[in-house]
Amino acid sequence: MCGRFVLINSSDLRIRFRALVQDGPDPSRGFDPVLPDDPRLVSRYNVAPTQQVVTVTIHDGRNRLEWMRWGMVPYWAKAGDLPGNTINARADRLAQSGIWKRPLARSRCLIPADGYYEWTGAKTSRRPLLFRRRDRGLFAFAGLFDYWTDPDGKVVRSCAIVTTPPNRLVERVHDRMPAILSDEAEALWLDRQTEDVERLSALLMPYPDELMESFPVSPLVNKPDNDSPELVVPAGQQML
């Protein structure tokens, strides 16, 4: 699964994902673009559920960066009875699920990151580990999103991270991992003309373990309010 992640190299997003610079929001569809010099676009070391996250979507054939709530609210949800546990979506259940089937066909996105956390150990002494690419480069989780209208008429765009079985590195601590797409798979995942479930499912494979690394980090990660560079420093190397 993925319950916290890191997005440090935020200044590289437009180049990395070849994203169009937007002029302004589109309130009618809840579209909240990442604008030039957006003050919200800062390095994040502890992104948590229900927070606004940067996503990559496609519009008129061009990639664009936009903000969405992490924790998908399906369009059919009723206020006061929202489904729980929608920050992650299992890859093997997407095509059959009432929550995920429609977004899989119609509204896929990328969720940029350069690391994510997982926990290990007994419940009373669980320690966080940071997983990232060995080259420390930006990557993208496979994401799904949907539109929901709240009782006041406001359109909320929200997303979820797809998960797969773990690779050999991750399986030591968890039986799921986020679906990290290869650079080549990102364009196909975003392509709105692609609705072939088998073709899309083939993209959702465990990321090669030889391209990743992991190490223990500070338990400060346990509290979402903590968000500083210290969180991604290997345990034992933090400055006193």
Residues forming the active site: 2, 118
In contact, 131 and 117? CB cutoff 8 Å: yes
In contact, 145 and 56? CB cutoff 8 Å: no
Give the N- to C-terminal CA distance of the chain in Å, as an integer: 32
Q: Report d(CA 149, CA 156) in Å as an integer.
A: 6
Q: Any idea how long the chain is?
A: 240
- From residue 84, alpha-carbon distances to 33, 89, 143, 161, 169 in Å are 26, 12, 17, 14, 29
